[in-house]
Amino acid sequence: MIQKKNIAVLGMMCASCSANVERKLNSLDGISSATVSLPTRTVLVEYDDATISLEQMKEAIDGIGYDMVIEEDRNVEAIEHRAYITLRRKVLLSWFFALLVMSLSMGWFGLSSYHDDVRNQTALIIALLNLFYCGRQFYVSAWRQLLHRSANMDTLVALRTGISFLFSTFNTFWGEAFWGARGIENHTYFDASVMIITFVLTGRLLEERAKHSTASAIRSLMSLQPKTAHAVVDGSPVDIPISAVQKGDILEVRPGEKIPVDGTACDGSAVAKTVAKIDESMMTGEAAPVEKQKGDRLLAGTIVKEGSLSMRAEAVGKQTVLANMIRMVQEAQGSKAPVQRTVDRIALIFVPAVVGLSLLTFALWFIIGGQEQLPQAILSAISVLVIACPCAMGLATPTALMVGIGKAAQKNILIKDATALEQLHRVDAMVVDKTGTITRPSLESDGIETLSPHASEVMATLQQQGIEVHMMSGDREERVAPIAREAGISHYMSQVLPQDKENLVKQLQQEGHTVAMVGDGINDSQALATADVSIAMGKGTDVAMDVAQVTLMANDLRRIPEAIVLSRKTVGMIHQNLFWAFIYNMVCIPLAAGLPYLFGLQWQITPMLASALMAFSSVSVVLNSLRLAGTAGLQASP
């Protein structure tokens, strides 16, 4: 049976890591697709459980140096929190070691009076402590990658620090004899090896803090889930864990409490009445409390504002609407936009390419300058290894998508996958259903429809955004035409069948348009499935919402132009991130290799400066994406 599961994978630190995990899983029999999200450190796997088990996947991923969490009793948040505390401790200690080594190498605090051998040997001991405790993870990871003929960011860090440490150790004990005999000045770079680890760890700590902010949408949705419920047992309420609630249980909900599971209002005791006012704004976006009576549907996470009620549980655990919302947002944040596929392919070859460039840099310096330039050749090669950063490229797209999809969820716009969010900004034609989308039935009206709130305003806004709107309806011409005029829609068709809606979508696509379809009924499902972007109204049929890539939880048409604006801002953010990530590497790698020397400039990027720039590049991409989360509004504009 085909299963789809979102699984945490710990230990991924860069784009090369996520690409390695994804490649490994996709190579296994029984897995039809595996998509890794670096910011969330999860993988969305679609697999046949008759062919491959979760345990087999875990064994494969653990074998290449990562940790796939499939055990129910392992709390991923607790594990990540402990890892964060350990990382913070290592960062503080590494900075302490770095300051000590810098003091020795620079002769601060009167240390210049000590003999060079004493200072170098003391720096060696401090650097060794730093490598073994603070930087041990880089060498363990690099070794595991090597055993599996792979490489990642840790490989570069291990090479950078290892080469600079070994070179400095050689110079400490044998440098004077070896270089002095050749008339070459002798230098050590223990400070560089320590500072590289310090800056990389600091960058990761800042990334972790920033990534925590990108997951705010998921945390806010999860906070809506109550922890306990009042179950009615033998006529009296008893508090039980939410996990113990079963379908068919009778529950009581009191004023100010959250409804624990999905169900229906039912007859209750003298305390729990059958009439109450419920705040459903977190699910529907409608601010006014809704009055609920016997037989009315109740949703988990909504809040009882007035009165108490009894309810019969109908959907519990992972079956509630709220749980499905959380799952959809998690899967969407873990999905990949088409542009990310290109970045992933680059990430797979990035580390080997950088190692090759480093070796080339060393060879050119040595060929041009001979033995006299050997220290410069080593220094330049290390600088190239240090400054190259696949992390910024790997984080450029997923962090922006995470924030964008999370922002949409806060606006009651559920986006199922990253492709939909990226495609929305290209939409220039939109097909909309009439009944239930543009219109709604009038009360005791005999079938007469009135225009949905804000319909004409939204249609005008969409056209200002450059989107050509087409209205389709199976209704009669005399009922469709007035609605089209009132809504300000010039392109409309009446008495159409479901196939006609699909045909219009295909026709617009053949004319070169990127088409969005908006509908709410079973008769819209064909067109929704055919469109480039499909949008369903939240109060529509389950079939329409299953097919659609975007669901408007509230029947508020204003969410459509807001979703398009959000898409444009998110895609713009992705392009910014990718531009700076690529420019960073294109500019900094030649500078680290010593290109300025060809033009007579006695300057280049040192390993210490390179490590600081590398750490800053990754952090800046994440912080830039977080600007989207701070957007005050998503008012549509042309």
What's the pLDDT tens digit per position in 51-77?
A: 999 999 999 998 888 899 988 778 887
Considering the entire predicted model, what is its pTM?
0.67
Alpha-carbon distance of 540 to 534, in angstroms, equals 13
8 Å CB contact between 485 and 438? no
**Marked catalytic residue, from 191, 262, 279, 433:** 433
pLDDT for the residue numbered 270: 45
pLDDT (mean) for 372-377: 80
Mean pLDDT lowest for which of 119-123, 132-136, 459-463? Answer: 119-123
Mind spelling out the 3-state secondary structure of 57-75?
Answer: HHHHHHHCCCEEECCCCCC
> Annotated catalytic, 433?
yes
Asked if pLDDT for residue 541 goes beyond 60, the answer is no
Instruction: Indicate the average pLDDT of the chain.
Output: 82
Mind spelling out the 3-state secondary structure of 98-115?
Answer: HHHHHHHHHCHHHHHHCC
User: Of the segments 265-279, 485-499, 540-554, 600-614, which one has the largest average pLDDT value?
Assistant: 485-499
Residue 637 pLDDT level (bands cut at 50, 70, 90): very low
Among 335, 322, 485, which Cα is nearest to 402's?
335
User: Torsion angle of alpha carbons 114, 119, 120, 123, nearest 10°?
Assistant: 180
Alpha-carbon distance of 308 to 312, in angstroms, equals 14
Asked if pLDDT for residue 165 goes beyond 60, the answer is yes
pLDDT for the residue numbered 263: 92
pLDDT for the residue numbered 125: 92
pLDDT (mean) for 25-49: 88
pLDDT (mean) for 517-529: 79
pLDDT (mean) for 332-343: 67
Asked if pLDDT for residue 28 goes beyond 80, the answer is yes
% helix, strand, coil for the chain, step of 5: 55, 15, 25
Asked if pLDDT for residue 390 goes beyond 70, the answer is no
What's the pLDDT tens digit per position in 188-236?
A: 778 878 887 887 888 778 777 766 665 666 667 777 788 889 998 888 8
Residue 617 pLDDT level (bands cut at 50, 70, 90): confident
State percent of the chain over pLDDT 70: 84
What's the pLDDT tens digit per position in 409-443?
A: 888 888 887 788 888 999 999 999 888 788 876 65
pLDDT for the residue numbered 632: 45
Q: Which residue has the higher pLDDT, 232 or 177?
A: 232
8 Å CB contact between 361 and 558? no
- Sort 85 into a burial class: Cβ within 10 Å, 0-12 / 13-18 / 19+: exposed
Alpha-carbon distance of 32 to 617, in angstroms, equals 34
What's the pLDDT tens digit per position in 268-306?
A: 654 445 568 888 776 655 567 888 888 888 888 889 988
Alpha-carbon distance of 200 to 192, in angstroms, equals 12
pLDDT (mean) for 87-109: 85
Q: What angle do CA 141, 142, 144 make, to 5 degrees?
A: 65
pLDDT (mean) for 170-180: 78
Q: Which residue has the higher pLDDT, 599 or 631?
A: 599
Kindly write down the DSSP assignment for every residue of 371-383, as one continuous string. GGGHHHHHHHHHH
pLDDT for the residue numbered 509: 93
8 Å CB contact between 3 and 54? no
pLDDT for the residue numbered 312: 92
Alpha-carbon distance of 345 to 353, in angstroms, equals 13
